[in-house]
Structure 1
Amino acid sequence: MKWGMPWPGAELAQRCEQAGAQAFCAGEFADASAYVTATEMAQGTERAVTGPGIAYAFARSPFIHAAAVRHLNKIAPGRIFLGLGAGTGRMNRDWFGVDSSHPAPRMAELVGCIRAFLQAENDQKITFAGDYYSIDTHIRAPVMGPIEVPILLGAFNVHMLRTAGRVADGVLGHGLFTDRWWSEVVDPQLRAGADRAGRDAGGLLRWGWVITAIDDEDPARAVEDARRQIAFYLTVKTYDSLVALHGWQDEVAAIRAEFAGGDPRKIGSHVTEDMLWSMAVCGDTAQATEMLAGRKNLPDLGFLAPPGFLVSPRRRKHYGNSTVESFHQIGVSQ
């Protein structure tokens, strides 16, 4: 597995590149824009691929996505990717104030529109007519010309995975993705989408986040933080099909009950060893190495993501430093 990280800042990123990091990505939330962070990444790196991973797809128009990608490609030519995620229906409706109905076909059209802007020859009219997006424009200046930027989808369910296989360049998997989820759900659905479009599924990118907390000085705390992060993710019902695949319904019910009416700091206590070893790389370097070796279907490029739930920025930075120190030797063995 090749590796990268969510953006750790320019100083640590330099060490990451020296240790073999291939890519950096930028998520977003109420206090962080994926495209602003992607600009920092493009300016603060020399070789690594960088990009939003993910940007909220429907919160911006195709034009805005494409303009941001073109701008990033000026800063780091040939080193930009675009990761798009639908977000939840509630977020789109209540936070962004946009329509996100029929997310899979809407996403397919969005990808097509963005590509129309990115692949347009200079002085070429740009058109797209669909059910959700309609573009009819002739941008006479500035000089544009086509650029090649991989577009990946943050896909979880069957329909979005098939959409990724059909229209995108690959998938950017969630940190909860287990070996079984990759092999029994993700890969087959990517192939199904690619087959439908007459594409070669073998050329699709299989990238994903990997929950990573390594600390040789306090491995127990690293394990606890990883457990809490897994539990926090599993409070979201979107992932119930993954839970059902593994038979973790009782554990997740306990997590959600604790989160709703108990002590959120204790939600990780309901994460079993099986769950932990299926979804995280954590503890000291020796255990992290063992956990990584036990995974048989990791993403081809994994973004080693420190836990964020009830973890301070200082602690996240510490995990980032520990990951760089230990993962070079781990990564070489994979």
Structure 2
Amino acid sequence: MTQATRWGLTVPLSELSLPDHRELVRRLPDLGYTDLWSAEANGADAFTPLTLASQWAPELRLGTAIAPVYTRGPGLLAMSAAALAECAPDRFVLGVGTSSQTIVEDWNATPFTEPYARTRDTVRFLRAALAGEKVTERYPTFAVRGFRLGRPPRTAPPLMVAALRPGMLRLAGREADGAITNWLAASDVPAVRGELGSEAELVARIFVCPTPDADTARALARRHIAGYLTVPVYRAFHEWLGRGERLAPMQEAWAAGDRKRALELIPDDVVDELVVHGEPAACREHIRAYVEAGVSTPVLMPLTTGGDPAALVDALAPE
């Protein structure tokens, strides 16, 4: 069995306040975790949890997965990245991406236009800005005049792009240092890796529910699957992966406003492909299947059914 050289965890955990993560984060390196990756939607921002962690566990690599390219201006995004790179020198990875129309337009009052081009232009700007260059450039989707970081990082952090379908995956392989993806099965990884290329890092957030109660795990997983896979970008992703017909009834019920029926229409086999569940040892084995298929860095996203979050993190630690 191929062993993952990296083993990541998503923070923050919903059961803990940000300050209460201190003891858990400090223990992670001894448990075998190598990475912490943040998310950004409507909870904590992408940078604050990692900034705290940079001081609690200096052995860990830290990454944003992701900081949206629309919700901060280019200069502010560069400043946020530079500050975290200063707190975690040579241990920070800046992951950027489009996020979703709901987060960008509905929650942040910003037009969600030309997502591919906006991501490409932001990556190009960040390459220059984080290298300490003065940037005056009219990109196709925005213009910057006379920006230079006042505190450029000693070493510019690697840049990664959130990517689902071929165009963005190829962009990540061509202009960034790798891709970040999620909501895929281990069997989907070769298709994603084929578009990204063999050399770039592939980070995958993997949803994990470590319980032997399959009915409970599937019920919890269905709520998350419906919340994500009805979003247009994820719907298109799974159509590309060949899962469109199996998900179409759920998506149609969701669009009609029948949320209860939508959950019922998600097939068990789709749940079992997209969400890792079972005893902790079985979960670890399933996660390693992603690594064997081509994932460089598995990043666990625990789906909890209650109980002590620290015990869950312990149970999912690599052996």
Give me the TM-score of the superposition, normalised by structure 2.
0.83
| Paired amino acid for 2:249 | A
Residue identity opposite 1:177 in structure 2 = L
Q: CA deviation at 1:131?
A: 1.5
Deviation at 1:291, TM superposition (A): 3.2
2:107 aligns with one of 73, 95, 105? 95
Aligned length: 305
Return closer, same or farther for 1:126/1:292 CA change in 2, 3 Å cut-off: closer
Higher helix share: 1
CA contact (8 A) 1:6 1:303 kept: yes
SS at match of 2:84: helix
**1:155 aligned to which of 159, 163, 166:** 163
Alignment counterpart, residue 184 of structure 2, candidates 173, 177, 194: 177
State the one-letter code of the partner of 1:190.
L
Question: Bigger shift: 72-81 or 90-99?
Answer: 90-99
Pairing partner for 1:228 from 215, 220, 223: 223
Partner amino acid for 1:324? V
Counterpart CA distance in 2 for 1:94 and 1:241 is: 20
- Taking only aligned residues, the RMSD between alpha carbons, in angstroms, comes to 2.8
User: Which residue does the alignment assign to 1:71?
Assistant: 83
Tell me: higher relative CO, structure 1 or 2? Use CA pairs within 8 A at least 6 residues apart: 2
**Residue segments in structure 2 that go unaligned for 5+ positions in a row:** 14-20
Please report how far the alpha carbon of residue 289 of structure 1 lies from its aligned counterpart in structure 2 after TM superposition: 4.2
| Shift, 1:118, TM fit | 0.7
Task: Give yes or no for contact 1:42–1:50 (8 Å, CA) kept in 2.
Answer: yes
1:234 is aligned with what amino acid? Answer: L
- 2:161 is the alignment partner of 1:166: no
Separation (CA, whole Å) in 1 of partners of 2:243 and 2:276? 19
Query: Aligned to 1:6, which of 7, 10, 14?
Result: 10
Q: Pick the aligned partner of 1:253 from 244, 248, 251.
A: 248
Which residue of the partner structure matches residue 190 of structure 1? Answer: 196
The offset of 1:113, in angstroms, is 0.8
Q: Does 1:326 align with 2:315?
A: yes
1:22, CA displacement in angstroms?
0.9
Give the match's secondary structure for 2:209: strand
1:80 CA drift (Å): 1.0
Question: What's the counterpart of residue 128 of structure 1?
Answer: 137
Name the SS for the 2:276 alignment partner. Answer: strand
Please say if residues 181 and 242 of structure 1, whose CA atoms lie closer than 8 Å, have aligned partners that are also in contact: no
Please state whether the residue corresponding to 2:7 is helix, strand or coil: strand
Alignment-derived partner of residue 304 in structure 1: 300
Could you tell me which runs of 5 or more consecutive residues in structure 1 were left unpaired when the two chains were aligned. Answer: 192-200
Call closer, same or farther: CA 1:224–1:286 in 2, change over 3 Å.
Answer: farther
2:164 aligns to what SS in structure 1?
A: coil
CA deviations 1:126-176 (Å, max 9, x no partner) are: 33332123333264x8464652201111111222112111211111111x1
Q: Give, in angstroms, the shift of residue 268 of structure 1.
A: 4.8
> CA separation of 1:220/1:45 partners in 2, compared to 1, >3 Å: closer, same or farther?
farther
For 1:154, give the aligned amino acid: A
1:131 is paired with a residue of what secondary structure? coil
Q: Which runs of 4+ in 1 moved over 6 A?
A: none
- 1:243 matched to 2:251? The reply is no
Taking the aligned partners of 2:234 and 2:259, their CA distance within structure 1 comes to 22
CA contact (8 A) 1:232 1:267 kept: no
Contact 2:104 2:111 in 1 (8 A): yes
User: CA–CA distance in 2 between the matches of 1:46 and 1:284?
Assistant: 31
State how far apart, in whole Å, the 1-side matches of 2:129 and 2:287 are: 40
Which amino acid in the other structure matches residue 158 of structure 2?
P
Alpha-carbon deviation of 1:258? 5.1
Shift of 1:221: 2.6
* Paired residues of 2:160 and 2:178 also in contact (CA < 8 A): yes
Deviates more, 1:127-136 or 1:69-78: 127-136
Q: Which residue of 1 aligns with 2:18?
A: none
Q: Percent identity among equivalent residues? A: 23
